[in-house]
A and B are shown apart, each in its own frame.
Chain A
């Protein structure tokens, strides 16, 4: 198949240099010349995409990095005329900007609460799904639907559900004779954000946990049963530790997503009341696109990027060996 040939050629090249060039054969044979020709063709095919991604990804990233060392704002002329201010923005953010520090702390707290709930519920559902019961496949598809809904739609739906005269409050009035103003108090606004996030993303945990549980080797579990462990002991001492790499990967994926949490909070609370539900993404958005402090926002974004990298690094540390294949 021609496709396969092209792919194997690409594998043989590094940074667009064909394998034959690197070995620098004294007199290229016909086969080598043909291989080079194919590699050149492959590079030609990839070139437009690479050029576009350099301009779309790399250039803006570098511009933003450069911008973060200035105090430039679109209202103050060209970026090229902006002066170099060193780490001024970074110092400002870390030392003086309590709103930034609070947003970071808030986002971390939110991720701890949401991820714990999502993991617990998702894993619980997955354990239930290990058994056979009636309507399992229908329930399975139903449970996965939230994940497929756009964040904006989820945000809007929950915003409507939690209105002061919305369905949730109407039911609450019938049941308890009272209902809170969800978006007027920090505590209730947090609950709305958490409920929305958990509803939206628990299915992802459920799906990952279910496939993880199903791929566990059976014999260690049987061995634990034979050694006298109760079902609970089997779960906590054998199943859960064996599932650890899967759990950590799921947590890492979701933690990275929560750092970027924007749409739902933007629609639900806009960070309010006051700044009580302002996540880090929301704060950076406000800095950059409401206050036009683009340079300051870029610095904040870079700090978050570094923080996320560190977080992922430490989260993955306990299972890195297992994921990368342990050297004997």
Chain B
């Protein structure tokens, strides 16, 4: 992949309104996906993620904005001519056909020659482990097989982009892990560009290289998974991703002689320079992941907190801490973990904290960039 390659998919200021502008489902959405990349669009239900998929595939028309595939606008192309495949949440397999007929459908309607269809169907069935089921009626299949048929039916047409709408949410838990592995294998084997809509952050974190987090029709952040996890662009992202979510501490930045410090109660943490010009004392928020907090025995004037609740989760436990009225979650090894009511000292991993503006709730790193 060279840098001159256009992105596989580019959304430019995409907007979708319903009821003559009364409802805005998607607002000013811009993002790009590189070839071979997997992007997860993550967000709570009703955030506009399915609408976005429908617009990319062409079954809904955007109110404004543009969709480019391989650098070419596809807005004037109808669904089915865009080389985009969509796998529905309920699979939408043609139950009146056999598995083979389902797989062949996309090629048949394009008028591909029979031997070519047979070859492609055989190949896809082999890749998805459906060879034994080719002659079965699709109505006889179970959840994960239906899912495979739905994916295979789309892959047969060799789409430039594969869109998956909540692909794992209809499967039982054990099947989910297997299917997740399967998807990762497919993605590596055929170098497919995948866009993946989900409300399940584990799914997003485990499968995607990039995560786009949406809420209320707006894109909050689109970045590699580790960036989204460690440096959320917005407090919404910080609160949405991770279980338990990122802790947000309310405090203030104090600037003395060019060096900024974040102060919240007894917590004092060096904030990176370049917070920009501003008053020497201004309100701010600090985000810290529960696993970036280390507990110690209280000593030499460090920040302390009281353990309010302990939630054991096997290898580790989630502790709810009370620090001068602000509640924090922290993880600790389940063995020799403090007990409820204990006073503990808190050590923050200075490389893993994020600072947010108190008014716009956006990450200060992004604001200064």
Contacts and interface: CB of A to CB of B under 8 A. Distances in A.
Interface string A220-231: 101111111110
A228 B86 contact: no
B3 interface: no
B361 interface: no
Task: Please provide the 7 A-B residue pairs with the shortest distance between their CB atoms, ordered closest to farther.
Answer: A219-B92, A227-B106, A228-B80, A241-B96, A229-B109, A223-B92, A220-B92
Interface in B61-87: 79-81, 84-86
B94 A220 contact: yes
A222 B59 contact: yes
Nearest to A223: B92
Contacts of B95: 220, 242
Given A219-B92, A220-B92, A244-B96, A226 B57 contact: yes
B110 interface: yes
A231 to B, nearest CB: 10
A238 interface: yes
A227 B80 contact: yes
15 contacts: A219-B92, A222-B88, A223-B86, A223-B94, A223-B150, A224-B94, A225-B59, A226-B59, A226-B84, A227-B105, A229-B109, A241-B97, A242-B95, A242-B96, A326-B140
Contacts of B133: none
Name the residue among B58, B79, B93 with the largest chain A CB count within 10 angstroms: B79
A313 interface: no
A214 B79 CA distance: 22
Interface in B132-163: 139-140, 142, 150, 153-154, 157
- Measured as residues with beta carbon below 8 angstroms from the partner, the interface class of chain A is 20 to 34
A33 interface: no
A217 interface: yes
Contacts of A220: 92-95
Interface of A: 217, 219-220, 222-230, 233, 237-238, 241-242, 244, 326, 328
- Measured as residues with beta carbon below 8 angstroms from the partner, the interface class of chain B is 20 to 34
Contacts of A328: 140, 142
Contacts of A228: 80-81, 106, 109-110, 157
Given A226-B59, A227-B80, A326-B139, A237 B109 contact: yes
Interface string B92-134: 1111110000000110011000000000000000000000000
B90 interface: yes
Nearest to A218: B92
Contacts of B57: 226
Contacts of A225: 59, 79-80
A220 B93 CA distance: 6
A156 to B, nearest CB: 44
B153 A227 contact: yes
A219 B88 contact: yes
Contacts of B58: 226
Given A225-B59, A227-B80, A237-B105, 6 more contacts: A217-B92, A220-B94, A223-B92, A227-B157, A237-B109, A241-B97
Contacts of A244: 96
A238 B106 CA distance: 12
Interface string B228-256: 00000000000000000000000000000
Contacts of A326: 139-140
Nearest to B84: A226
A224 B105 contact: yes
B86 A226 contact: yes
Contacts of A227: 80, 85, 105-106, 109, 153-154, 157
Contacts of A217: 90, 92
Nearest to A244: B96
A223 to B, nearest CB: 4
A222 B92 contact: yes
Name the residue among B59, B92, B140, B154 with the largest chain A CB count within 10 angstroms: B92
Contacts of B106: 227-228
A238 B80 contact: no
A251 B88 CA distance: 33
A233 B50 CA distance: 26
A328 B95 CA distance: 13
Contacts of B90: 217, 219
Contacts of A219: 88, 90, 92
Contacts of B86: 222-223, 226
A251 B126 CA distance: 41
A270 to B, nearest CB: 45
Contacts of A238: 94
Contact of B80 (A226, A237, A241, A242): A226
Name the residue among A227, A228, A230, A241 with the largest chain B CB count within 10 angstroms: A227
Contacts of B94: 220, 223-224, 238, 241-242
Contacts of B142: 328
Nearest to B101: A237
Contacts of B79: 222, 225-226
A113 B110 CA distance: 34
Contacts of B153: 223, 227
Name the residue among B81, B85, B86 with the largest chain A CB count within 10 angstroms: B86
A318 to B, nearest CB: 11
Contacts of B92: 217, 219-220, 222-223
Name the residue among A220, A222, A226, A242 with the largest chain B CB count within 10 angstroms: A226
